[in-house]
């Protein structure tokens, strides 16, 4: 007759598809016990594995077949938390903050670059990780697209400019316009290298510019990184706000604290007459904030200066520090610092 302890030992001997650890070590097994002739437990899969729940449950059943005295398996499959093990490359980083969006085209990378620069202007040590492997734009926004990282002591050295330390797939491509034609496993390997094998050094903040959406790469990063929290960038219109909420819910389901919502392209102010025009509607960020119960960090205007300075490789926070959009990014940085401090104090 199999005991509860023997059931747990049998689970520890399993190796499930696409894993190199047993489900117990991964934290996927909860409340394993034997009741009569039934072995019962909860299989708490991380959200990134829920699409494979049937295959994983089938593999568990197959692996436990033939346990003495067991006639049936009662397996309750639920969505658990992603496992975020500390990474050696980030040992001296105080706060890792993910910046995500539900869709492309909302200016997430531009927000990431200017927010990083605004934080650096406070005297903080700031890093910026461009995790959009397919569409890296940080090198262009920061004017370093032609630079290549050095390798010292088996570590990639970040590219540095304007007080930021940066890493991006764009630095590793032979040409800036070369495509990255990779499948999932290669993406995960590159991301792991950016986390573990880059000499980030001592940082107060590492901002991670995620690719848009809730696919494999954002989920892999949530699992890889010891995140202090996440920001979601949206634009005001209802469709964009609704899609952005999906990314917000992804962070919530993976137990990542939401530091707040940023509304980009909130309004356009004519430089000639001063008229305020809400080109993409108005109030979407505040509505999303109220509906989800997460902080609203602020609004960034739709201003040609942001586009022009970004194209020139010196974002508006540095190029035109007294301009309204630059002041908006500085206010955003201060709101973020307050939220990070509040979140850290609550733990």
Instruction: Report long-range pairs for 156-163 (Cβ below 8 Å, ≥24 apart).
Output: 156/193, 156/194, 156/197, 156/198, 156/199, 157/198, 157/199, 158/127, 158/198, 158/199, 158/200, 162/117, 162/120, 162/314, 162/318, 163/117, 163/120, 163/121, 163/126
Q: What are phi and psi of 206, to 5 degrees?
A: -120, 110
Q: Among positive and negative, which fits the CA dihedral 327, 332, 338, 340?
A: negative
The confidence score (pLDDT) of residue 86 equals: 43
Angle at 34 between CA 33 and CA 37, to 5 degrees: 160
Q: Indicate the helix (H) or strand (E) that contains 118.
A: helix 108-120
The confidence score (pLDDT) of residue 269 equals: 73
pLDDT tens for each residue of the chain, 347 residues long: 888 888 988 888 888 877 756 787 677 888 889 999 999 999 998 888 888 889 899 999 999 988 999 999 999 999 886 555 445 568 899 999 999 887 777 889 999 999 999 999 999 999 999 988 777 899 999 999 999 989 888 888 999 999 999 999 888 877 766 666 565 556 667 777 888 889 999 999 999 998 887 666 676 677 677 888 999 999 887 776 677 777 887 787 777 889 999 999 888 777 777 667 777 777 777 787 888 888 999 999 999 999 999 999 999 999 999 999 999 999 999 999 999 988 766 55
Contacts of 60 (CB under 8 A, 6+ apart): 11, 14, 16, 23, 43, 73, 75
Q: What does DSSP assign to residue 299?
A: E
Radius of gyration of the chain (CA): 23
């Amino acid at each position: 007759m199999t005991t509860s302890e023997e059931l747990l030992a049998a689970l520890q001997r399993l190796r499930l598809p696409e894993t190199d650890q047993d489900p117990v070590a991964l934290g996927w097994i909860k409340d394993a016990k034997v009741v009569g002739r039934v072995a019962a437990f909860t299989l708490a899969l991380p959200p990134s594995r829920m699409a494979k729940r049937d295959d994983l449950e089938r593999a568990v059943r197959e692996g436990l077949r033939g346990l003495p005295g067991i006639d049936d398996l009662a397996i309750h499959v639920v969505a658990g938390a992603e496992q975020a093990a500390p990474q050696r490359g980030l040992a001296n980083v105080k706060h890792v903050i993910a910046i995500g969006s539900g869709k492309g085209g909302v200016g997430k990378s531009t927000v990431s670059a200017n927010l990083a620069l605004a934080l650096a202007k406070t005297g903080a040590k700031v890093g910026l990780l461009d995790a959009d492997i397919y569409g890296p734009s940080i090198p262009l926004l920061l004017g370093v697209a032609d630079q290549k990282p050095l390798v010292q002591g088996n570590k990639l050295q970040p590219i540095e400019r304007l007080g930021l330390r940066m890493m991006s797939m764009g630095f590793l491509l032979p040409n800036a316009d070369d495509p990255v034609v990779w499948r999932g496993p290669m993406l995960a390997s590159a991301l792991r290298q950016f986390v573990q094998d880059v000499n980030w050094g001592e940082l107060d903040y590492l901002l991670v510019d995620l690719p848009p959406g809730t696919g494999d790469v954002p989920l892999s990063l949530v699992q890889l990184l010891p995140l202090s929290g996440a920001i979601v960038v949206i634009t005001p219109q209802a469709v964009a706000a609704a899609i952005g909420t999906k990314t917000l819910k992804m962070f919530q389901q993976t137990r990542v604290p939401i530091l707040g919502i940023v509304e980009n392209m909130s309004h356009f102010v004519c430089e000639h007459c001063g008229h305020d025009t809400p080109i993409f509607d108005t109030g979407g960020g505040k509505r999303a904030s109220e509906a989800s119960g997460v902080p609203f960090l602020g609004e960034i205007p739709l201003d040609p200066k942001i586009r022009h300075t970004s194209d020139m490789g010196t974002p508006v926070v540095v190029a035109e520090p007294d301009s309204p959009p630059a002041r908006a990014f500085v206010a955003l940085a201060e709101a973020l610092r307050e939220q990070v401090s509040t979140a850290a104090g609550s733990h």
